[in-house]
Amino acid sequence: MALSIININVNVSGTSTRFFNILATPLAIVDGTTIAATSFLNDSGSAATTFPIVTNGYYNLYINGVLQEGDSYTVSATELTFNTVTGAISAGTPIIIEAVELVTVI
């Protein structure tokens, strides 16, 4: 019996979209606090209308440049929601959401 070698090429590529918000006023955070998508700017500096729905990827949330734990927030098309965290975010603090969508080609 002859030996056959299987060569499988898998390419994974990603696209990233970022949304920016610099808080105009302090924000008290409790479980369920939300920030509307419309309060963010997109990569081109235009007002965002919605966040993309990521089906094969992930979201990253940065507050003042620090990556936040994945379970501490959720992102929907219309808002960012804080989960099971409490605290306060000062006015002038940047909040960045990064939506990463992955595509696999075999």
- Taking 90 as the threshold, does the pLDDT of residue 10 lie above it? no
Contact 53, 98 (CB under 8 A): no
- Provide the percentage of residues in the chain whose pLDDT is more than 70: 99
Confidence of residue 1 (pLDDT cuts 50, 70, 90): low
Percentages of the chain per state (helix, strand, coil), in multiples of 5:
5, 50, 45
Confidence of residue 6 (pLDDT cuts 50, 70, 90): confident
Average pLDDT, the chain: 93
